[in-house]
Chain A
Amino acid sequence: MTNHWIDIKNSDCILIMGSNAAENHPISFKYVTQAMDKGAKLINVDPRFTRTSSKADIYTALRSGTDIAFLGGMIKYILDNDLYNKEYTAAYTNAPFIVGKSYGFEDGLFSGYQKNEEGPSLGSYDKSKWAFEMDDKGVPKMDRTLTHEQCVFQLLKTHYKRYDLDTVSKVTGTPKEDLLTVYKTYAATGKRDKAGTIMYAMGWTQHTVGTQNIRTMAMIQLLLGNMGMAGGGVNALRGESNVQGSTDHCLLWHIWPGYLKTPRASNDSLDAYNAKWTPKTNDPLSANWWSNYPKYSVSLLKSFFGEAATPSNQFGYNWLPKVDDNGVYSWFDLFDAMYKEEIKGFFAWGQNPACSGSNASKIRKAMENLDWMVNVNLFDNETGSFWKGPGTDASKIKTEVFMLPAAVSVEKEGSITNSGRWMQWRYQGPKPLGDSRPDGDIIMELGHRIKEAYKTSSGVFKEPIVNLKWDYDTNGVYDPHKAAKEINGYFTRDITIKDKLYKKGTLVPSFAFLQADGSTSSGNWLYCNSYTEKGNMAARRSQKDAANNIGLYPEFAWCWPVNRRIIYNRASVDPKGRPWDEKDWVIKFAGKEVGGKYVSNKWLGDVPDGGWYPLENPDGSKRADAKQPFIMQKHGHGQIFGPGRADGPFPEHYEPLECPVEKNYFSSRMISPTAAVYSTKADSHATCDPRFPFVGTTYRVSEHWQTGLMTRPQEWLMELQPNMFVEMSEELAKLRGIKNGERVNVSSARASVECTAMVTKRFKPFTIGYSTVHQVGIPWHYGWRWPSTGTEESANLLTPPAGDPNTRIPETKAFMVNVTKL
């Protein structure tokens, strides 16, 4: 979230699309309800009428996988009707940037495309073709009047010209009048003092166009001037209690803690690595925050290796693993490698891939190829016990499995970070049940043993292991405070910064103090400021709101970065530093003014996104000591044109890998030309195949969570949602002779799963093009281990082997199925 949960109450229009907030983030509705009580409109767009829809002012359905068409139509509507915030768009976004002549788009392809014969990626782009034109100082050329024919704004207009109501309706199945109502209502937040927000989740990410779904909305938010505003922003609701924190700390192949890059093989020295990943700008008005990259990377290495990290050994840089320059090691690729017998050992720590991964049959089969697996969890699960799952023969499976019992969150101490980036501390209630242990204790103990093994016997490339800083325990027991302090970071020697002495061993006050010379450590620069000499910021409990009274609660818990509750908040003020919205202001400039010029610097409200002066003085003159608001972007502007994405600088509608239509009404391209599609014999798919005539989608329900592992072994929650089910329209039920409540089979090109039919008015057939398309929905909460009947299986047995080109997140929200009576 760029904003945070409480901030939803400040919104004038809430669009819930790609999520089902009432069911999957129920407490968010406290704030949706408060906003509505003050007159905000709630719009919900979802293939199925949900508990969220039941509360919406405007509900309409779209066929799964057509969000870009839907939102592209909104962009066209905003531009055609001049509803964008002109001042904001011209000043803060890259709409004025001039794009080079080598950019082009024709029939679904951007310039620079190259097909890939080897897979899994279908193709790739030479992104240099989309570069901006630079002036002689190396600053992007701009036309703030937005009229230059090669400026982003004009290219945007051209790109979305094709997204007219007729075509959008034909693709999405959404009636034209509904499209208009949604567009008109949401676009009304383009007024300078209005803010609209988007609440999305996996309904947008789990597509082969997932990243671009979100980009389309981000572009709308920029055009309407909703970024940085109270009640605005782009808000990913996120599914797990600490998925924000685990992402920040980068339990991901491609990034290191704090979103630093995992080194590529060609980054053969620390200097080369820093040079490669530190963006450069020649624009004095661009903060280009990532120019601090080396301070963060070196401080991280100091946290990894402590005293052993020195300038002479490049702070241990080469002790850490490198990935191949064009290698991809994502979830899909991991299991693809495991399936191909390329992986021998596997940690499945606090998750259940046998049910959560797309095309789960392949995952279950792949695990048979392992020599050993370590499975850490609260409950026995389909992953740890895969060798006795349906259709397996234990006597033929070699894998050794270690199943370790973990403690529940209330049995341990530590912090988690919510979607609003709030890091919150929690305490131990009861002791761990039986002989279960907190994950931290298990990790610490395992680390000690591995280090000891390398210290006391021969081993390959011992340095990173023996030198790993591993002192996060007190009296032999894991101490979360020590780890939290390491994440914040220490001064590693006495240093003086701005005339102030900071003693060795004291905690760094914030990331502005981090250094690239090894004099500071920080396990994650984004969290530097979370645990300082003032104490554990995440444990704060003050009920006091900030001066703007918009629910920031700045002294309750702590949020990254530097306790800034709404990021990009410099865009919530006009270039003179005055809030667009006087009532629900986020920050405002309160420096002294003399003769039309600001002469002192002071901001009120939230922690500003950089405390520089506003871009302009009250008399309209430009300041040279100011910075553009989008400080994490190299050029300081919000990206309406996104030249860094793998699949194109503008979002374009493509069909899912498996779709019900033989034609894409926007181009002759069906699937995204850069999607990742896997192709072992366990990776079948079928599009426009009469055997699988219905669109399928997966989702969650309020009463279960993820694969259900933390809800299925619980009676109270099973009472509420006891069975795997499939929701379908009355029309489809009639077509198939299915009665409400009876068991049916749902099958895809990959598997078949038994479900209870829920025949409901909440699904309706779509008219796509000139034909009727039915869609069904299934929850992905079940698995054979719980309940003990073994009859309720995972929806992910059905889901397809395809993913987004940028993230490789699977396309579990749109695929093709059949539904038949048992």
Chain B
Amino acid sequence: MSKSIFIDTSICTACRACQVACKQWHDLPAETTKNMGSFQNPPDLSFSTYKLVRMTEEMINGRLEWLFFPDQCRHCVDAPCLETAFDETAIYRDPATGAILYTRNTKQLDADEIIGSCPYNIPRKAADGTLGKCDMCNDRVRNGLKPACVTACPTGAMTFGDRDEILASANKRLEKVRQKFPKAMLLDPNEVNVIYLVAFDPKLYSEYAVASADRGGLSRGVALRKMMGPFAKLLKV
């Protein structure tokens, strides 16, 4: 059974514990940042920032809303990056957890192609071309712990568990949140293992909150390779 994370943005306070807990557990270096006129920092995900709380201010129905979106890899059920890479020494799925994992061998991939294949614009490359992103704290999860970000989350905006249980609780939560925010929705729940609940139009939270139509999918070359590949079916775990 795959593991999933549910992120209920309606109760996220953008305390950004998740952002730091991620760096803490992974020993990721800090970026040198500058205040560009927003609380959001770093400005974007990077090779050393796997998790980023995006913050936007919107007037909705005459009321100011400060929207928070803890962005990270969705660990897709069918992961275009994995299929695009078509190299299990570089990108593979842990069968025990469903996590999509990147290795140092991603350095040998066409980084831009992989990034371009992600409908959520998640992977980021290092100077040497190695790709990095959230690994769902696979070491923790395999040892019965929750991912660092979920553990740290104060309000319960992030929960973690088996996919079917998480899906069920997400749907239940959606029902409740809709009493207050009628347009609340889950984002691509059937396609991803990191399921977001948003109270308003997902585009207000992040350009790539939902799978982008003009991103992702597979280029012709990739599709061709996939068709030809002897292990194509094995890629789906």
Contacts and interface: CB of A to CB of B under 8 A. Distances in A.
Interface of A: 22-23, 26-27, 29-30, 33, 49, 51-55, 59, 701-703, 715-723, 725, 740-742, 756-762
6 contacts: A33-B156, A703-B16, A722-B32, A740-B38, A756-B34, A758-B35
A723 B35 contact: yes
Contact of B14 (A33, A51, A742): A51
A51 B155 CA distance: 13
B147 to A, nearest CB: 18
B24 interface: yes
Given A33-B11, A719-B30, 13 more contacts: A29-B154, A30-B155, A51-B15, A54-B14, A716-B30, A720-B20, A722-B33, A723-B35, A740-B36, A741-B37, A756-B34, A759-B37, A761-B64
A721 B14 contact: no
B19 interface: yes
B13 A55 contact: yes
Given A49-B64, A54-B65, A30 B154 contact: yes
A741 B11 contact: no
Kindly list the 10 A-B residue pairs having the minimum CB-CB distance in the complex, ordered from nearest. Answer: A741-B37, A715-B30, A740-B37, A723-B35, A54-B66, A26-B15, A719-B30, A22-B13, A756-B35, A33-B155
Contacts of B32: 719, 722
A762 B57 contact: yes
A289 B88 CA distance: 73
Interface string B28-46: 0111111111110110000
Contact of A716 (B11, B13, B23, B68): B23
Contacts, number: 96
Nearest to B19: A720
B141 interface: no
Nearest to B53: A720
Contacts of B57: 760-762
B17 interface: yes
B59 interface: yes
Please report whether the interface of chain B is mostly helix, strand, loop or mixed according to DSSP.
loop
Nearest to B41: A720
A758 B38 contact: yes
Contacts of A719: 30-33, 41-42
Nearest to A54: B66
Contacts of A26: 13, 15, 17, 154
A51 B20 contact: no
Interface residues on B, range: 20 to 34
A55 B154 CA distance: 14
B24 A722 contact: no
Contacts of A757: 37
Given A33-B11, A54-B65, A722-B41, A716 B34 contact: no
Contacts of A22: 13, 15
A175 to B, nearest CB: 13
Interface string B154-176: 11100000000000000000000
A189 B119 CA distance: 49
B35 A741 contact: yes
A759 B35 CA distance: 12
Nearest to A27: B154
B161 to A, nearest CB: 19
B59 A761 contact: yes
Of B30, B34, B42, chain A has the most CB atoms within 10 Å of the CB of B30
B13 A722 contact: no
Nearest to B38: A758
Interface string B44-73: 000000000000010100001110100000
Contacts of A740: 36-38
A701 B154 CA distance: 16
Contacts of A759: 37
A347 B34 CA distance: 35
| Best-buried of A23, A721, A722, A723 by chain B (most CB within 10 Å) | A722
A551 B97 CA distance: 34
A703 to B, nearest CB: 7
Contact of A723 (B17, B20, B34, B59): B34
Nearest to A26: B15
A719 B19 CA distance: 11
B108 to A, nearest CB: 30
Contacts of B11: 33, 55
A418 to B, nearest CB: 15
Nearest to A703: B16
Contact of A718 (B30, B36, B39, B64): B30
Contacts of A725: 35
A54 B34 contact: no
Contact of A715 (B19, B29, B66): B29
B45 to A, nearest CB: 13
A312 to B, nearest CB: 57
A367 to B, nearest CB: 30
Contacts of A52: 13
Contacts of A721: 35, 39, 41
A23 B15 contact: yes
A762 B66 contact: yes
Given A30-B154, A54-B65, A721-B41, A716 B24 contact: yes
> Which residue of B20, B29, B57, B155 has the most chain A CB atoms within 10 A of its CB atom?
B155
A717 B20 contact: yes
B13 A756 contact: no
B37 A29 contact: no
Contacts of A33: 11, 155-156
Nearest to B58: A761
Nearest to B67: A54
Contacts of A756: 34-35, 37
A742 to B, nearest CB: 8
Contacts of A27: 154
B27 to A, nearest CB: 11
Contact of A702 (B16, B33, B41): B16
B117 to A, nearest CB: 28
Given A54-B13, A725-B35, A740-B37, A49 B30 contact: no
Contacts of B33: 718-720, 722
A716 B41 contact: no
Contacts of A53: 66
A54 B157 CA distance: 14
Given A716-B24, A762-B66, A29 B35 contact: no
Contacts of A30: 154-156
B155 A29 contact: yes
B207 to A, nearest CB: 19
A23 B66 CA distance: 14
Contacts of A723: 34-35
B179 to A, nearest CB: 11
Contacts of B68: 51, 54
A338 B5 CA distance: 57
Contacts of A720: 16, 19-20, 33, 41
A249 to B, nearest CB: 29
Interface in B126-157: 154-156
A722 B23 CA distance: 17
Contacts of A49: 64, 66
Contacts of A762: 57, 64, 66
Contacts of B17: 26
A166 B54 CA distance: 40
Contacts of A718: 30, 33
Nearest to A22: B13
B20 A716 contact: yes
Nearest to B68: A54
Contacts of A758: 35, 37-39
A49 B58 CA distance: 12
A740 B40 CA distance: 14
A407 to B, nearest CB: 21
A22, A51, A717, A719 — most chain B CB neighbours (10 Å): A719
A264 B57 CA distance: 55
A419 B41 CA distance: 30
A742 B35 CA distance: 9
B223 to A, nearest CB: 39
